[in-house]
Amino acid sequence: MKKFALVLLFILFTIPCIASEELSKQAIAFYSDNNTNKALDLLLQIEEKNRTPQDWLILGNILEENGEKANAIYMYQKAIAVNNKYYKSYYNLANIFLEEEKYSLAIEHYKKAIKLNKNNPYLHYNLACAYIKSGDIKKAKTSLINAVTLKNDIPEVHHNLAFVYKSLGKEKIAQSYLDNYNKLLQNSF
């Protein structure tokens, strides 16, 4: 009888997890197909305690796309609470803070994302954008150099490097990055 009770308890506790995993997979598929309403419906069926960081991230993305930034911030923070090594949540928070002109918060969150995923050039690029907006051109230059070292075919990185070097009074270097930018744009068509 004790074995039966233990097996029954095990089944009762694992079924919600399995159901949550299946709902999560389906939601990700719908979200990938740009069916955000169906993804949202599925994610909201998952109990909060069973949501993965990716579930919270997708909820945040959907809310952000719908203009609900405060709620999106909450969802990204929930993703971090579930797994503080999930860099995408820091990145999305930083993007919101950059857009809201909260540059110190944006910089802080980009740095956290980079600490978790240092080989992503877009993290370095966006950190540089936050530095540029905050007026710290030297730190922006360092971040852009990191980005271009990781991936040298992103036109926007070259464009911003041209801006940074021009701001620092280094016209020749600025022009070379501007030339690179124009070449990359031509090659993309």
The stretch 1-30 carries a mean pLDDT of 62
Nearest one of 88, 144, 92 to 116, comparing CA atoms = 88
pLDDT single digits (tens) 145-166: 999 999 999 999 999 999 999 9
Show Cβ contacts of residue 186 under 8 Å, excluding neighbours closer than 6 positions. none
| Residue 26 pLDDT exceeds 70 | yes
Would you state the pLDDT for residue 11? 39
- Domain boundary among the residues 56, 84, 112 is at 84
What is residue 46's DSSP assignment? S
Token pair of 94 as six digits: 């930083």
Number of compact structural domains in the chain: 2
In a domain, 13, yes or no: no
CA R_g for the chain: 22
In a domain, 132, yes or no: yes
pLDDT single digits (tens) 77-123: 999 999 999 999 999 999 999 999 999 999 999 999 999 999 999 99
CATH number at residue 176: 1.25.40.10
Contact by Cβ (8 Å): 158, 177:
yes
| Residue 14 pLDDT exceeds 60 | no
Average pLDDT, the chain: 91
Cα–Cα distance, 43 to 3 (Å, whole number): 34
One domain, residues 72 and 126? no
One domain, residues 74 and 154? no
| Residue 10 pLDDT exceeds 90 | no
Token pair of 39 as six digits: 């993804």
In a domain, 3, yes or no: no
In a domain, 11, yes or no: no
pLDDT band, very low/low/confident/very high, at 19 (cuts 50, 70, 90): confident
Nearest one of 152, 143, 140 to 118, comparing CA atoms = 143
In a domain, 131, yes or no: yes
One domain, residues 137 and 183? yes
Q: Domain range for residue 139?
A: 103-189
Angle between helices 69-82 and 87-99 (to 10 degrees): 160
One domain, residues 76 and 26? yes
Angle between helices 2-32 and 36-45 (to 10 degrees): 160
Cα–Cα distance, 49 to 98 (Å, whole number): 30
One domain, residues 77 and 110? no
List the single range of 3-7, 26-30, 92-96 with lowest mean pLDDT: 3-7
One domain, residues 118 and 189? yes
Q: What is the pTM of this model?
A: 0.86
| Residue 8 pLDDT exceeds 60 | no
